[in-house]
Structure 1
């Protein structure tokens, strides 16, 4: 019997897509995340996770069938949470492609910074069994498709000038996801400051054009 799914691993586990509290996971998942981060998936044993939680191995198996189930819960849950926030950001954004694009970039960077340990676990996608990997890849593809749609629409409407919309969208999302690799809470910038900078960098990447207002003419 698995532990109840934490709010931080659900698509609807937030009230404001920009707001984050400290990551709160059930003890077994928190211990698993720490162990995977420290030793990698293949270097972690179920016995090590049980020791961290302070339970016996049979007690851990009562909640999760095996180590793979723990990785799946964390990876799928993290992607669920990221997608949920991105959908909320798009619903709140103005209808223009540039506004949707900016909201996506901001949302992804905020997630990568505020949930860096979970987001960094994406590197263990290679450790998922085929069926689980297919589920995870499908969710990643959905996130990428949101970005590609915004870039494609921006080019079609003349808001973006990049001659390579697919490549530009891929470059932006890869750049945003990489924040999880280097972000540290002790750094000089807050997650919001980083997200604001990345919005500007990303808009430049896709060749965003700003139409002049009457006061500029």
Structure 2
């Protein structure tokens, strides 16, 4: 018998680089898998219920409809990214360079370790207006966290990009793309992918000497 669907999120990780079991309610796990395989519009509630092993009315007891499943998954994902990114930034301190490196690393690690959830960002177009507005607000907050750090770096001469907003959007698009192509059994570990994306991101925001000055997040 499945447990209460209010148990939708994984326990807080002891560290932002740590990833344990996903910890989602079984209905959400199977919905995530179905959306990933067939897309939101190609997946029916009956399909999800069949994967879980419950009736459609039983599924509706836990979630109002298919839209509620997608909205819950996307909000769970972006909130986890934000929590980890904030933790990484706090650990790195106020200096823009290590702060930026840690934030990018945290985002890429999330994309690699939580591919199923992260890949659902492509389904933002399927969210109804209210759900979309909430999700976009959270995603914009993540973008502004990075942008504030880059702006501080420009003021201190650490970053040189003349177009910080565009540079940050490019960094996020590059990082989010990891969810679409990374493979755990591939030639690179999640940690190596993160290190490489930190270097690429530093180049994007115009850090003049990325390899020598970026520190453990790049060299380690």
Residues in 2 aligned to 1:63 and 1:37: alpha-carbon distance in whole angstroms: 21
Residues in 2 aligned to 1:116 and 1:164: alpha-carbon distance in whole angstroms: 30
Q: What does residue 6 of structure 1 align with?
A: 8
**TM-score, normalisation: structure 1:** 0.92
Residues in 1 aligned to 2:199 and 2:4: alpha-carbon distance in whole angstroms: 42
Q: What does residue 68 of structure 2 align with?
A: 69
CA RMSD of aligned residues (A): 1.8
Following superposition, the deviation at residue 24 of structure 1 comes to: 2.9
Following superposition, the deviation at residue 2 of structure 1 comes to: 5.9
Are 1:17 and 1:89, in contact at CA under 8 Å, matched by a contact in 2?
yes
Q: What does residue 82 of structure 1 align with?
A: 81
Gaps of 5+ in 2: 214-220
Gaps of 5+ in 1: none
Q: What does residue 189 of structure 1 align with?
A: 188
Residues in 2 aligned to 1:127 and 1:13: alpha-carbon distance in whole angstroms: 28
Are 2:8 and 2:28, in contact at CA under 8 Å, matched by a contact in 1?
no
Q: What does residue 216 of structure 2 align with?
A: none
SS at match of 1:15: coil
**TM-score, normalisation: structure 2:** 0.90
Following superposition, the deviation at residue 133 of structure 1 comes to: 0.3
Q: What does residue 128 of structure 1 align with?
A: 127
Are 1:7 and 1:14, in contact at CA under 8 Å, matched by a contact in 2?
no
Following superposition, the deviation at residue 200 of structure 1 comes to: 1.3
Following superposition, the deviation at residue 210 of structure 1 comes to: 4.8
Following superposition, the deviation at residue 173 of structure 1 comes to: 1.2
The count of corresponding residues between Structure 1 and Structure 2 is 210
SS at match of 1:112: helix
| Structure 1 segments (4+ residues) deviating >6 Å | none
Following superposition, the deviation at residue 7 of structure 1 comes to: 3.5
Residues in 1 aligned to 2:206 and 2:191: alpha-carbon distance in whole angstroms: 23
